[in-house]
Structure 1
Amino acid sequence: MKTYNSNTNNTTAKLSLKTMALLAGILFTSGLFVTSQTASADQVTYTVQSGDTLSSISDQFYHDQAHVQTIATANKIDNISLIYVGEELKFDTNTKADSKAPAKPSAAPSSPAVAPVAAVAQPTASIATNNGFTANSAKEAIAMTESGGSYTAQNGQYYGRYQLTSSYLGGDFSPANQERVADAYVAGRYGSWEAAWQFHLANGWY
C-alpha cells in the first residue's frame, strides 16, 4: 500500500512554481534583448556607390520607392537627383513612407551618384605696374611698385615691402610685421587694397 506524503507533494509544487517563474523571467529578458537588437538593426549607414540613386537605395532597404524623400530628409539632401560616390547616408529602415513621396518611379528618376568635383581656382587678371612689374592682386601691385617686392628696400624714412615709416612699423621690420601693419594701414585708410591701388594709380602713392 502506497503512503501519501503531503510534504513531498508540496515541495514538488513549490519547485515547479519557482522553475516556471525562472523560465518566464528568462524568456521575458530574451524578448527585451531581441527587441533591442532589432531596433538597433533598423539604423543603417550606407556608403553611396557608383551608379546609385536615392530610388535604388530606397528599393534596396525599403523594397519600394516611397522612401526617397525619407532618406533625403534624414541626410539634409536638398536635390534628390544629386548624391555623391563615397557619401554616407544614415536612415532608419523602420520609418514610415513619406506621404508625399511617389510610390512609383517618376518620369524623371533621380540621377546616378557622381564623384565630387574639386573646386577649380579661377585665374586672376595680371596688373601691370608703372615700373614694369606685373602682379595678380592690388596688394601685390602696390608692393611691386613701391619696393619691387623687397622687405629690405629703403627710401629715406620709408622702409620695406610697402614703404612704410619706422613709426608705423614700431621699429619691427620683420616681414610678418610689415604684412600686418600694411593690412591695418590700408583697411583703415582705404577700406581695401583695391581702393588703395586705385588711389595709387591716380596719385602715384598711397
Structure 2
Amino acid sequence: MCSGVGLQGIAWAVGGTIFTLVYCTAGISGGHINPAVTFGLLLARKLSLTRAIFYMVMQCLGAICGAGVVKSFERSEYELLGGGTNTLNPKYSKSTGLVAEIIGTFVLVYTVFSATDAKRNARDSHVPILAPLPIGFAVFIVHLATLPITGTGINPARSLGAAVVYNRKQAWDDHWIFWVGPFIGAGLAASYHQVVIRALPFKSKATL
C-alpha cells in the first residue's frame, strides 16, 4: 500500500507524464497512448477501425518494451515492487476493483472527449484549453482515488506490458479486470458524450 505522500507522488508523476506524452504525440497520432481511449474514440466514430487496431497493437508493444527497459535498469527495485503490475488489493472484492476501473476510465475518456471536442471549442471559445492539461489532471485524480484499490489500471496496454515482462501468477490472477473495466468505462463515456452532451443546444456566446 502507498503512504499518503507516496500515493500523491505517484499520482503527480503519472499525471505529469501523461500530460507530456499527449502533448508530444498529439500532432503525430492525436495522442493515442491508451487502448481504452482509442476504443472510446472508435465508438464515437472519430477514427477508423483499421487505425484503432493499429494504435492498440502499437500501444501494447510500446508498453511491453517500456516495462522491459525498466526491468533492465532497475532489476532489484523491479522485483521488490512486483514489476509494477496492476493487482487487486485483497481488501477489496473483484466487483469493487472492476467498478473502480470502470469509473476511473470513464473520467479519463470523458475528459478526453471534452478537451478535444470541436463543438465545445467553438461554443466555449472564450475558455482557452490546452487539451493535454485536463487529461493529465484527470489521470492524476483517478490515481489518487484508485491506487489503493487496483494500483490504477485505466490503460490496458500499461497493465499488459507490466504483466508480460513480470510474468508471475499474481500479475495474471485478476488481469481481466484491467481490460474489461477500462473498455466498459470508455464505452460509457463515448455513449454519454455522443448521446447527451453533443445533443445540448449550441451557443456561440457564453451567457454570464
User: Which structure carries more relative contact order (alpha carbon 8 Å, separation 6+)?
Assistant: 2
TM-score (norm 2): 0.18
* Bigger radius of gyration: 1
- Structure holding more strand per residue: 1
TM-score (norm 1): 0.18
- Structure holding more helix per residue: 2
